[in-house]
Structure 1
Amino acid sequence: MRHFGIQDMTNPLILKLAHRDQLTVEEKQALETAIARVRHVDADEDIVREGTRPAESNLLLEGFAARYKILSNGRRQITAIHVTGDSST
């Protein structure tokens, strides 16, 4: 498991936002202080389960994640793919 420092944690989001807009020093600092905790999620582990309401937003620091829904036949239908720097609620 990789250990992140504050700069590493916010880098994916800051880089993604910097492609669209120029961020001020104050905005970058606000993003750096917004990260409350970091958690490692294993493959096949749900970040948020269907039907629940998350209590916090999530920022993907490394890797990929998929959003899916369970179909009536029990299979999963992928509805979104998230990459490093994406956020979700």
Structure 2
Amino acid sequence: KALKEANKQQARKIAELEETIKRMAADMAAIKERKQKTEEKAPAKEDEVSVEMVEELPAKRKIPDGSRFRRPEENQYLSQEFKSLSARVDRLEEKVD
């Protein structure tokens, strides 16, 4: 009887983890979509900048992480959030296995 109860509890935990993984996968897909939309909009906005505005824009700085120019903070946040969610999904998948 105790074994059946333990199996039921484990089955519930697995079901909860699977639901969590599904929600996180949906969140990750949404983050990817937002990131892609942000990256698609960025060049279009730059094309619309007038000559007067170009003088007011801050200079782009090189950064040591391998990318040529600093990304907008929103992209950095989305990238960090995506990495965090990816790591959480990986850990949950390890627990389920």
TM-score by length of 1: 0.23
Higher helix share: 2
Structure of greater relative contact order (alpha carbons < 8 Å, 6+ residues apart): 2
Higher strand share: 1
TM-score by length of 2: 0.22
Higher-Rg member (1/2): 2
